[in-house]
Amino acid sequence: MAAMPEPHGLYEVFLRVARDGSFTAAARSLGYTQSAVSRQVQALEEEWGTALFDRLPRGVRLTEAGRVLLPHAEGVRQRLRAARAELAALRSLGGGTLRVGAFAAANVSLVPRALAAFGQRYPGVTVVHSEGPTAKHAALLAEGGLDLAVLSTPAGITLPGPELYHLLDEPMYVALPRGHRFADRAVLRLSELAGEDWIEGDVRPEQTLLAPALAAGFLPRVAFRVNDWTAKQGFVAAGLGITVLPELAAGAVRPDVALVPVDPADLPCRKVYAGTPRGLAHSPAVGAFLSLLRSAATGRAEPPAGTASARPTTRQ
């Protein structure tokens, strides 16, 4: 069976007839019947309200209106060709843009590993990256400002808005100076740390990773407000206090800081998701990056050796 003729737009047909000077010759070039070409030219003439070709005994010739339209039709064809090429690049991941956001701890290892793998496989795709809190990126997803974001939420808290894809459950650690009396413990209860000074990103405990423990009556004494994970470790190493460190940030811990798992009964694992705009179709780039994020989450690195940091078992 002969292949179906390739579909052509009205302007493509118009340009072919103008070039060949004949409906019959144009139909042969395009793989259409002569009557189909004639109908498409007639449709274009009706659209513009004027004759574009003079019908001659042997072939056709552009009218003055046809000569005016000719360069514009050429421009339309060039833009359509460029659009086809760009759309083909999107489908094949040979081009396009991927806008990704993530919270700070996810940017320590999880997101960079996925981005590196994505860049190696799809170097033609431009990646735009944003760092910030989950609330910011959930809003950007809703507004159409991001294609995908790595988001986190405490256990038992739902995150309204985005379409969510579970990546991992993230245990919590307490970061201590190497010489701290609890530095070699296998696991710690928060009640054992009640008298400690804490270094957190906010003086209000409800705005920190310690928030889930407040309902049980634990009230930390926040001595210093420090946002950056690296800076927090500096304060810890200097003996100025202790802090909670999520597992995703543990891969970059300093050698003079010890990590000890917090009992999940005190600080349950937080949920980490990939989020996309709800109800919208994924681009091929989003689907590919989501797959690589899942692989990176499954194979994420253990915290550095030499810490009392075996992952705690989550209690059911």
pLDDT digit string (tens) for 267-289? 999 999 999 999 888 889 999 99
Domain boundary among 214, 232, 261: 261
- pTM listed for this prediction: 0.71
Mean pLDDT score, 164-173: 96
Q: Are residues 35 and 84 in the same domain?
A: yes
pLDDT for 93 equals: 80
Mean pLDDT score, 160-182: 95
pLDDT higher at 290 or 83: 290
Cα angle at 127 between 147 and 89, to 5 degrees?
Answer: 85
Mean pLDDT score, 67-80: 91
Assigned domain for 311 exists: no
Contact 240, 224 (CB under 8 A): yes
Assigned domain for 5 exists: no
Mean pLDDT score, 67-91: 85
Mean pLDDT score, 132-159: 92
pLDDT level of residue 4 (50, 70, 90 thresholds): very low
Query: Domain with 57 in it: what CATH number?
Result: 1.10.10.10
Residue 3 confidence (pLDDT) above 70: no
pLDDT for 282 equals: 86
Domain boundary among 44, 68, 92: 92
Residue range(s) defining the domain that contains residue 125? 97-169+277-298
Query: Domain with 282 in it: what CATH number?
Result: 3.40.190.10
pLDDT for 2 equals: 37
Residue 90 confidence (pLDDT) above 80: no
Q: Are residues 147 and 197 in the same domain?
A: no
Domain boundary among 37, 65, 92: 92
The count of domains in the chain is 3
Mean pLDDT score, 34-56: 94
CA distance 88 to 244: 47
Q: Are residues 211 and 88 in the same domain?
A: no
Kindly report the average pLDDT of the chain as a whole number: 88
Q: DSSP readout, 206-244? A: GGSTTHHHHTTT---EEEEE---HHHHHHHHHTTS-BEE
Q: What is the pLDDT of residues 227-255, one digit of tens each?
A: 888 899 999 999 999 999 999 998 889 99
Q: Are residues 51 and 175 in the same domain?
A: no
pLDDT for 307 equals: 53
